[in-house]
Amino acid sequence: KPLLPINGKPILEIILEQCINSGIRNFYISVHYLSEKIINYFGDGSKWNVNIEYLKEDLPLGTAGALKLLPKVLNDSLILINGDVLTKTKFQNVLEYHLINDAEITICAREQILNSPYGVIEVEGINFTSMVEKPSFRQLVNAGIYVLSPAVIELVREERYLDMPELINLCKGKAKKIIVYPVHEYWLDIGKPESLDKAHYEWKLNDF
């Protein structure tokens, strides 16, 4: 999926270039399925004048489990980005927000508006209280972008399947400081065919 092209350029290359524009020069890409295609395309990063290393998963380890494969203890916070996210978010701003607030985890979140196609009825017991025709509900959804302090990464102690929600809940239980960064800019999760079609259309129309 990260190699799917958006108007001629793979999603992962778009993310890479956005990170470079934010001043990031060292990258780790976790790979498993069809890993050779990603490695052959990006190589060691010299094409972009950056350093790329690969975290090779023998079995899928989830969105957080691959952190265990990092070759050394990191001294700086790490920004973790899902490989199927298109956004205009400035990653440098996210990193600065994390550091200024002295956080251990920063979760990027996007506001989503859900429109109900029905009239919603509210009751008390069996008694009608109100009805709202086709209401809208606002909620924050996970944008698939995180910043993690070295202390959080050290909590991933063994090579096992671990997704970010599980790691976040583990850190919450240990009273780690977890904050949320609101994403107001363009954001799209390329998880379904219709999302990919939408990305082709919007990426072409807008100056991203």
pLDDT tens per residue, range 94-108: 999 999 999 999 999
**Nearest C-alpha neighbor of 110 from the set 186, 206, 202:** 186
Q: Are 101 and 180 a contacting pair, CB within 8 Å?
A: no
Mean pLDDT of 101-124: 94
What is the per-residue pLDDT across 155-191, written as a single tens digit (0 to 9) for each? 887 778 999 999 999 999 999 999 999 999 989 887 6
Greater confidence (73 vs 6) lies with: 6
Q: Is the pLDDT of residue 206 over 60?
A: no
Quick one: pLDDT at residue 170?
94
Contacts for 208 with CB less than 8 Å, ≥ 6 apart = 86, 88, 186
